[in-house]
Amino acid sequence: MKNSIFKFKHFQIDQSRSAMKIGTDGVLLGAWTPIYSNPKTILDVGAGTGLIALMLAQRLPESRITAVEIEKAAAEEAFDNFTNSSWSKRLCLIHDNIIDFSENSKVFFDLIVSNPPFFKNSFKVSDATRSTARDNFHMSYEDLFSCVNILLSPSGSFAMVCPIKYREELITKAELNQLYLERELMIKGTKSSSFKRILMQFSRTKTILKTEELILEESRNHRTFEHQKLVNDFYL
């Protein structure tokens, strides 16, 4: 399939089978996610092609990364992408939903990341919603934060990307699970456009919030200096 292989500097992604292709959101999250605590155990929720897990494997050479993906074709593709990388021994793909995984896992993670396209429209939680989440992509943000709360180590952090219009709601839902916004990066396409996306990092400790902004392009297909600096270790 044309353009099914996306090549980065140190790995490549076959995205021919996954419904969710490589996008700016995933690359930004993989490059931006804070690693100053040098996390050793990492969990990628909704791994898709395995992009973010591979980016973190590159950034953290001593880490072990578990990726959970519910969709069969995407899980198989991520597994192959892991196998074909230089870090295959440190990457583990699990075909499961995050609710069941969180209920059965005996491991706590120093870092959890998620680029959850299937969480965006589900804010109301119910038994029906939870049941549906076990079988398809319609998991709620409430379930996501609940699972993170179960799986995150006491000193760990959780990083995610979402539409900026959900910011306040997500802060509230996170706090209900003893997770507090520590750092955020608000993203817009050009200097004159409005902010559309936000990268958010949560931890279990309340701290002074650090807010930054990122403009992606100076002009069409020309990244800003700040954007290029952020992704320089990955894009060819």
Domains recognised in the chain with CATH numbers = 5-231 (3.40.50.150)
Q: What is the pLDDT of residue 97?
A: 93
Q: What is the pLDDT of residue 130?
A: 36
Q: Where are the beta strands (DSSP E) in the chain?
A: 5-7, 12-14, 41-45, 64-69, 91-95, 109-114, 152-163, 180-188, 195-203, 210-215, 217-219, 222-223
- CA 38 – CA 90 distance, rounded (Å): 15
Whole-structure pTM value: 0.91
Q: What is the pLDDT of residue 139?
A: 73
Lowest mean pLDDT among 118-127, 185-194, 226-235: 118-127
Q: What is the pLDDT of residue 43?
A: 98
- CA 207 – CA 183 distance, rounded (Å): 9
Q: What is the pLDDT of residue 150?
A: 98
Q: What is the pLDDT of residue 117?
A: 64
Per-residue pLDDT tens over the stretch 81-125: 999 999 999 999 999 999 999 999 999 999 999 998 644 444 443
Q: What is the pLDDT of residue 187?
A: 98
The answer, yes or no, to whether residue 126 has pLDDT greater than 60, is no
φ, ψ dihedrals at 153, nearest 5°? -70, 160
Q: What is the pLDDT of residue 209?
A: 98
DSSP 8-state class, residue 235: B
Report percent pLDDT > 70 for the chain: 89
Q: What is the pLDDT of residue 21?
A: 86
Mean pLDDT score of the chain, rounded to an integer?
90
CA distance readout (Å), 172 to 1, 62, 119, 166, 214: 43, 34, 16, 10, 24
Alpha helices of 65-209 — where are they, by DSSP H?
A: 72-83, 98-104, 127-133, 141-151, 167-175
Per-residue pLDDT tens over the stretch 11-59: 999 999 887 789 999 999 999 999 999 999 999 999 999 999 999 999 9
For 68-106, the DSSP string reads EE-SHHHHHHHHHHHHTSTTGGGEEEEES-HHHHHHH--
